[in-house]
């Protein structure tokens, strides 16, 4: 499934997404928590640097830009320096701020965090100071905001609502935006505020509440299992007339419940958690990106697991790129991963790997009867780079090579599956020609490797690889072990075949029988 997600990410293009919600400015003060103050029993933080980052709905817009979406921001800032900093930061990353109003009745929401490090260990958040207004927008500003948002809905592929309960997402604004988007066929994905009443989100396409938020919105339930999440999700889908809901369950992944009653759990792998700040925004961004591209909800859930997991491995809010998502997916190959791919798919994956600085190694052959000689040299080949592609001759190609009448012994799909089961192999492709020339020209590996008694000059396709600046390398073989010799032994032809475990002796009865 990882390879499927990689293909989807690579074909995303630049979806257009409108983000509506509470814009927040995060200020970070980093320092060394070196000792206890002499004035009071408190930690003394020696300042090292300050940093500003976008938070709330502004962070969602920033994250979407990192994921190469075209983004329009809608919300409000105060008439203050912090508001200017928010707009400047959004403009710097290429967010269209045409939907952002300046509200002279409120301050820009600011969260200031003190981050301390002690004894060169991983830094941790020590204190957060908030400056904000939670009052709903005045009617004048709410009306202006609705007008701006509604006018640009038809130009977008999805709308994300990031509600931090700071007064922007009033019931009137939400109702009007959701209704217009529904009529226009534009999906609306909501990351709800921590509230008991979700009725203000009625009619949205989907929601992404976390474990605690879902429990609170369904009468204080405790979500200890997927079944609990399914029951709570089903209740919200029915009450709010949603198409589906993504209940995010931190270390347990995501539970999806659809309006047709179907439900599905998407576990995630365990990660080191350094900071959960921004994880919810990243999950919303990932799901919104998939919704804009009209992905299946299962793929959106899987991507949100990857994106959210990568986010909690960082300190503070950090934007991720598509390359980082792809790299994580490439590193997370499971033992049962589908590695047998069409050459055009492998080509796209290799382009991503090269972009990440990985070295591509390719080897080719029939691999008719997989044996220790094959396994040994494939392991050696994999150690020469970051990714090993094995190109195998199709059944028709094997027969063209003047092999014995009964070759191949095993059909191409079985041979490919055997090779794919090896940990050292990343991709297996099947080619129909007598030579691997077409494969080499399409995939352009950094190194072409062959095992056996060849010299580099004898390797087929050598001139192609050297022509574009690649390398050609020949690895050794295990004496007495080859497909031809093994098949001869199996057929009972022992007249010229030494036993692979020892050298033939003068009084060897098999030799005498010849």
How far is C-alpha 112 from the geometric centre of its chain's CA atoms? Answer: 30
What is the DSSP pairing of strand 124-131 with strand 447-451?
unpaired
Contact 72/19 with Cβ under 8 angstroms?
A: yes
Question: Which of 140, 127, 102 is closest to 33 using CA atoms?
Answer: 127
Q: Which residues pair with 206 in a beta bridge?
A: 189, 244
> What does the alpha-carbon distance between residue 101 and residue 144 come to, in Å, rounded to a whole number?
8
Q: What is the dihedral of CA 414, 415, 420, 426, to 10 degrees?
A: -140
Backbone angles phi, psi at 148, to 5 degrees: -65, -40
Which contiguous run of DSSP H or E holds residue 24? strand 23-36
Buried b (16+ CB within 10 A) or exposed e, 480-506: bebbebbbeeeeeebeebbebeeeeee
The span from the CA of 31 to the CA of 34, in Å, is 9
Tokens linked to 263: 């439900």
Instruction: Judge contact between 108 and 23, C-beta under 8 A.
Output: yes
Q: What is the DSSP string of 229-298?
A: HHHHHHHHHHHHT-SEEEEE-GGG-EEEEETTS-EEEE-------S--TTHHHHHHHHHHHHHHTT--HH
Q: Closest Cα to residue 294, out of 153, 189, 210?
A: 189
Show which residues are catalytic.
Answer: 281
Nearest to 210, CA basis, from 192, 183, 188: 192
């Amino acid at each position: 499934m990882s390879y499927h997600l990689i293909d989807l990410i690579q074909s995303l293009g630049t979806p257009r997404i409108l983000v509506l919600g509470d814009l927040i400015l995060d200020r970070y003060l980093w320092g060394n928590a070196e000792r206890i103050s002499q004035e009071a029993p408190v930690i003394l933080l020696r300042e090292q640097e300050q940093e500003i980052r976008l938070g709330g709905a502004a962070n969602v817009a920033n994250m979407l830009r990192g994921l190469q979406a075209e983004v329009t921001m809608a919300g409000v800032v105060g008439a203050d320096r912090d508001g200017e900093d928010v707009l400047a930061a959004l403009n710097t990353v290429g967010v269209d701020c045409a939907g952002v109003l300046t509200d002279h009745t409120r301050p820009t929401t600011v969260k200031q965090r003190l981050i301390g490090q002690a004894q060169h260990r991983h830094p941790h958040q020590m204190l957060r100071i908030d400056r904000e207004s939670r009052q709903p927008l005045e009617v004048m500003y709410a009306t202006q905001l609705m007008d701006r948002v509604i006018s640009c809905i038809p130009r977008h592929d999805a709308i994300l609502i990031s509600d931090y309960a700071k007064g922007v997402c009033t019931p009137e604004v939400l109702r009007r935006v959701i209704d217009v988007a529904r009529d226009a066929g534009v999906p609306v994905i909501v990351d709800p505020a921590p509230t008991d009443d979700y009725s203000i989100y009625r009619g949205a396409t989907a929601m992404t509440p976390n474990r605690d938020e879902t429990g609170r919105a369904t009468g204080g339930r405790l979500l200890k299992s997927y079944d609990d999440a399914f029951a709570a999700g089903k209740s919200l889908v029915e009450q709010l007339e949603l198409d589906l809901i993504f209940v995010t369950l931190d270390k347990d992944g995501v539970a999806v419940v659809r309006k047709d009653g179907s439900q599905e759990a998407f576990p995630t792998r365990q990660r080191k958690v350094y900071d959960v700040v921004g994880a919810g925004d990243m999950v919303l961004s990932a799901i919104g990106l998939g919704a804009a591209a009209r992905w299946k909800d299962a793929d959106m859930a899987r991507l949100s697991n990857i994106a959210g997991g990568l986010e909690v491995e960082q300190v503070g809010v950090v934007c991720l790129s598509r390359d980082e998502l792809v790299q994580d997916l490439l590193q997370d190959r499971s033992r049962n991963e589908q590695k047998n791919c069409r050459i055009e798919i492998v080509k796209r994956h290799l382009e991503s790997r090269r972009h990440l600085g990985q070295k591509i190694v390719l080897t080719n052959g029939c691999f008719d009867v997989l044996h220790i000689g094959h396994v040994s040299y494939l392991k050696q080949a994999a150690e020469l780079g970051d990714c090993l592609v094995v190109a195998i001759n199709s059944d028709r190609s094997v027969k063209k090579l003047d092999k014995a009448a009964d070759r191949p012994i095993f059909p191409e799909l079985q041979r490919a599956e055997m090779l794919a089961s090896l940990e050292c192999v990343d991709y297996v492709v099947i080619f129909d020609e007598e030579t691997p020339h077409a494969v080499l020209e399409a995939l352009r590996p950094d190194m072409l490797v062959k095992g056996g008694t060849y010299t580099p000059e004898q390797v087929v396709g050598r001139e192609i690889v050297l022509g574009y600046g690649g390398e050609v390398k020949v690895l050794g073989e295990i004496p007495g072990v080859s497909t031809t010799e093994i098949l001869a032994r199996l057929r009972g032809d022992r007249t010229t075949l030494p036993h692979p475990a020892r050298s033939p002796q003068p009084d060897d009865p098999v030799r005498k029988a010849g």
